[in-house]
Amino acid sequence: MQDVWKSKGKKLHTRTIEVTTYDYDGQRIIIEGFLKDDRFQQSHLITGEKFPPGVIHHMGVRLLVNCSNLMIEDVDVDLISVPREVCNQTIDCLAPIKGLIITRGFTSKVKKIAGGVNGCTHLVELMQAMAPAAIQGFAAYEAQKPSGLNKEHAKMMAKYLVNTCYAWREDGPFDKVFKK
């Protein structure tokens, strides 16, 4: 390891994103995600404001997802800690994702719905982490069954996975399995 990466400087910031999947009722799962930003030094913002060390953002999103098609049936947002009161006005910015299916293009749809002036960049970033984790959670849910994924669910997952990495490249070893 190069010396540059062995910095002994003081810790400035930590962002933690945690995503957990829970079985809900045998046909649906709950995907729960939290984003937390901690600052370890006093901050002087361009607005002239000062923030003491501590939590800047702490928010949670819960998705109720149907396992037959990965459709989001319900959304719940919890703004545990935000830096400004005005941030609380974004609490409903993810409501329009109800009814979306977690598949290719999902994160770009979320950006259009809740990105920029339409919502909260931190909630969008959390959703960008939650989408692939939802696929992993769904796979974990399905893998509990002795027979594993049913063919329809396997094809649905394969569509999501193709070209996401080297192993899942189009015409790669795993893609070929689903083209038979």
Domain ranges across the chain: 3-148
Number of residues that make up the chain: 180
CB 51 within 8 A of CB 63: no
The pTM assigned to this predicted structure is 0.85
pLDDT of residue 1: 58
pLDDT tens by residue, 50-62: 989 999 999 999 9
Torsion sign (Cα): 22, 132, 59, 61: negative
pLDDT of residue 142: 85
